[in-house]
């Protein structure tokens, strides 16, 4: 009986202690209150609709003939519901098309936005690309759904120097409120890993396999514009130059290592529009990733990954 009484009391004590730590951290004022503030409520409930897509393009010269291709994945829409407590949020996302068996690809997004630093982690495993392949002097080859299988991991991180006045979370997680316009120079790091498999015997296109790992560092700038009370417009760009690149390609019976060609870049762009009132808010955010690898006079590949999110939230 003693054990049965002690455990709930201990659990309650632990929860109270944890709550006090979270509260103290949440209301810790280590920022300029003329520019930033925290929402006064503890709980936030948010509904989101996410739309994402991917595009892969190639260009090069093969035996003196110019070629290019374009493959685009079907866009993916998900619905999610998130619950936040003093800056920490958990969410559950559902893809209606996947539940009905119409969409078999897999995508995982993990985002952390803090005033001083943050990152996006995006993994995409897709087989639903469709597109075409063109080569000089030859008819266009249509590339059907299921012919291209791509696994991609994109990671980008930032450090905001002016984090006492400029807040990424104000635009992307709504755990801060931007009261006045402010910008910040940003330090950036990016990485991309990709495994590409293209072609089959029936398509007339020789099988191509491409594997690459790239790491870039750079700098950028972000700006939060507050035109009127309750409004926030955000835009930022984080270009990084690739400082490490390892890429190999197998085409038919040929296996080769792709050399580095300056400039190879990974660029991350973000944008947001937020409208908020005392207890409610709504808005839209966008994250855009672009990578170019190689040389178009030999072989070049361009990757684009994007996500648009609309949301509505209630503070309790």
Which residue is listed with tokens 């958990």? Answer: 90
| DSSP string covering 49-103 | EEEEEEEEEEEEEETTEEEEEEEEEPPEEEEEEEEEETTEEEEEEE-HHHHTTS-
pLDDT at 1: 40
Confidence of residue 9 (pLDDT cuts 50, 70, 90): low
pLDDT at 56: 94
Confidence of residue 20 (pLDDT cuts 50, 70, 90): confident
Look at the chain and count its residues. Answer: 316
pLDDT at 142: 87
195 pLDDT more than 90: yes
Whole-angstrom distance, CA of residue 131 vs CA of residue 142: 6
Whole-angstrom distance, CA of residue 104 vs CA of residue 125: 9
Strand partners, 143: 131
Span 117-131, average pLDDT: 90
- Cis-peptide, bond into residue 263, ω within 30° of zero: yes
- Token pair for 22: 């979270």
| Longest Cα–Cα distance in the chain | 86
Span 234-262, average pLDDT: 88
What mean pLDDT value characterizes the chain? 87
Whole-angstrom distance, CA of residue 291 vs CA of residue 302: 6
Q: Which residues contact 102 (CB under 8 A, 6 or more apart)?
A: none
Alpha helices in 79-176 (DSSP H): 96-99, 168-172
pLDDT at 208: 80
Span 122-146, average pLDDT: 88
Span 180-196, average pLDDT: 96
pLDDT at 96: 67
Nearest one of 7, 50, 31, 69 to 296, comparing CA atoms: 69
pLDDT at 284: 98
- The string over 215-225, giving b where at least 16 C-beta atoms fall within 10 Å of a residue's C-beta and e elsewhere, is bbebebebebe
pLDDT per residue as tens digits for the range 286-296: 999 999 998 88
pLDDT at 84: 86
| DSSP string covering 199-243 | EEGGGTEEEEEEEEEEEEEEEEEEEEE-SSTTEEEEEEEEEEEEE
Confidence of residue 236 (pLDDT cuts 50, 70, 90): very high
Of 97 and 129, more confident: 129
Span 112-135, average pLDDT: 91
Span 80-108, average pLDDT: 75
Contact 125, 73 (CB under 8 A): no
pLDDT per residue as tens digits for the range 41-62: 889 999 999 999 999 999 999 8
């Amino acid at each position: 009986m003693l054990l049965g009484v002690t455990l709930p009391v201990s659990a309650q004590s632990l929860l109270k202690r944890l709550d006090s730590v979270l509260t103290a951290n949440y209301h810790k004022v280590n920022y300029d209150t003329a520019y930033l503030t925290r929402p006064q409520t503890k709980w936030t409930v948010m509904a989101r609709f996410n739309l994402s897509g991917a595009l892969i393009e190639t260009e090069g010269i093969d035996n003196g003939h110019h070629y290019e291709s374009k493959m685009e994945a079907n866009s993916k829409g998900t619905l999610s519901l998130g619950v936040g407590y003093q800056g920490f949020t958990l969410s559950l996302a559902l893809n209606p098309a996947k539940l009905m068996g119409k969409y078999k690809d897999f995508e995982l997004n993990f985002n952390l936005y803090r005033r001083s630093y943050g990152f996006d982690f995006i993994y995409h495993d897709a087989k639903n690309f469709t597109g075409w392949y063109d080569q000089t002097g030859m008819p266009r080859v249509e590339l059907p759904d299921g012919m291209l299988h791509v696994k991609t991991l994109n990671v980008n991180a930032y450090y905001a120097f002016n984090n006492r006045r400029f807040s990424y979370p104000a635009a992307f997680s709504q755990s801060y409120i931007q009261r006045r316009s402010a910008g910040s120079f940003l330090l950036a790091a990016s990485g991309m890993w990709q495994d590409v498999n293209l072609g089959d015997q029936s398509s007339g296109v020789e099988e191509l396999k491409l594997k690459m790992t790239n790491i870039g560092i750079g700098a950028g700038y972000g700006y939060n514009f507050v035109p009127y009370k309750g409004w926030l417009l955000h835009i930022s760009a984080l270009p990084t130059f690739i400082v490490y690149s390892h890429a190999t390609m197998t085409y038919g019976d040929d296996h080769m290592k792709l050399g580095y060609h300056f400039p190879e870049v990974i660029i991350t762009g973000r944008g947001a529009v937020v409208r908020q009132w005392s207890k409610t808010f709504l808005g839209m955010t966008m994250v855009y990733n672009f990578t170019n690898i190689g040389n178009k006079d030999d072989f070049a590949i361009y990757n684009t990954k994007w996500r648009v999110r609309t949301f509505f939230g209630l503070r309790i």
